[in-house]
Structure 1
Amino acid sequence: MAVDHLDKDVLTHLRDVMEGEYRTLLDTFLEDSQERVEALRKARDTKVLGEIAHSFKGSSSNLGAVRLVELCHRLETEAANQSLQALEPLVDEIGDEFAFVRPLYELERQRYPF
């Protein structure tokens, strides 16, 4: 796993704590994250954008998606002071980062099928 994208220690801890529910947790994160990326792209209000970024930041933090946390934090912070148009590149960067980590999480799911 890419160290600067995922915190392997967080995943190890979750795997130990969640045991048989670990894969379900990963599935839920992937599904919810895809929905959040789509919601970010569809948002037409900076307040809504900031709220989605805040929620996405929390779930990404819980699952060790280090770079996603950083990007969502930036979006959450900048949404208060920027226009939607100015935030589009950051939304795109979040989408790109999720596209990068998604296969890493899918590989993790395959490693722990139960």
Structure 2
Amino acid sequence: MADKHLDPDVLSALREVMEDGFSTLIDTFLADCETRLQVLRQASTAAQLSETAHSFKGSSSNMGAVRLAELCGQLEQDAKKSPTANFGQSIADIDSEFAIVRPLYEIERQRSPAAS
């Protein structure tokens, strides 16, 4: 199941590059996701939605959260195409996916030698 949500190759490469900083990287990413989700929920314009979804997509992709990046990319495109649409369902989907990947990242952090 994790492969659908997290790319193991990306995580492995990050673990290798970051070494002792890997668990800190995960903590930073998860906190950043929380912040971006708040911004998405409270966004008052399609431009704000699109910009936040774009940066969320980039960080998710860099961290190997493939499905989360995909959902953010879709929201980014939709907000550009139909600025007056209701994006509540798209934001809910992103929220749900984050609820799935968060514990997966927690497990990855525990697997990191620096976590001890």
TM-score of the two chains, using structure 1 as the length reference: 0.94
Structural RMSD (CA): 1.2
Q: How many residues are aligned here?
A: 114
Structure 1 stretches (4+) deviating beyond 3 angstroms? Answer: none
2:26–2:109 contact (8 Å) kept in structure 1 = yes
Distance 1:21 1:7 in 2: 19
Does residue 26 of structure 1 match 2:15? no
Change (3 A) 1:2 1:109: same
Deviation at 1:84, TM superposition (A): 5.5
CA distance in 2, matches of 1:113, 1:92: 34
Q: How does 1:52-71 map to 2 (within 5 A)?
A: 52-71=52-71
Partner of 2:37: 37
Gaps of 5+ in 2: none
**Contact 1:6 1:65 (8 Å CA) reproduced:** yes
> How far apart, in 1, do the equivalents of 2:81 and 2:5 lie?
27
* TM-fit CA distance, 1:73: 0.5
Give TM-score scaled by structure 2 length: 0.93
1:44 and 1:113 mapped to 2: Cα distance? 42
| Equivalent-residue separation in structure 2 for 1:48 and 1:10 (angstroms) | 28
> What is the rounded CA distance, in whole Å, between the counterparts of 2:84 and 2:3 in structure 1?
31
Query: Within 5 Å, which residues of 2 pair with 1:72-83?
Result: 72-83=72-83
Say if 1:44 and 1:84, in contact at 8 Å, map to a contact too.
no
TM-aligned CA deviation for residue 88 of structure 1: 1.1
- State the secondary structure of the residue aligned to 2:81: coil
> Any idea what SS the aligned residue of 1:29 has?
helix
Q: Percent identity?
A: 54
Mapped partners of 1:107, 1:84: distance in 2: 39
Q: Residue in 1 aligned with 2:97?
A: 97
Structure 1 gap segments, 5+ residues each:
none
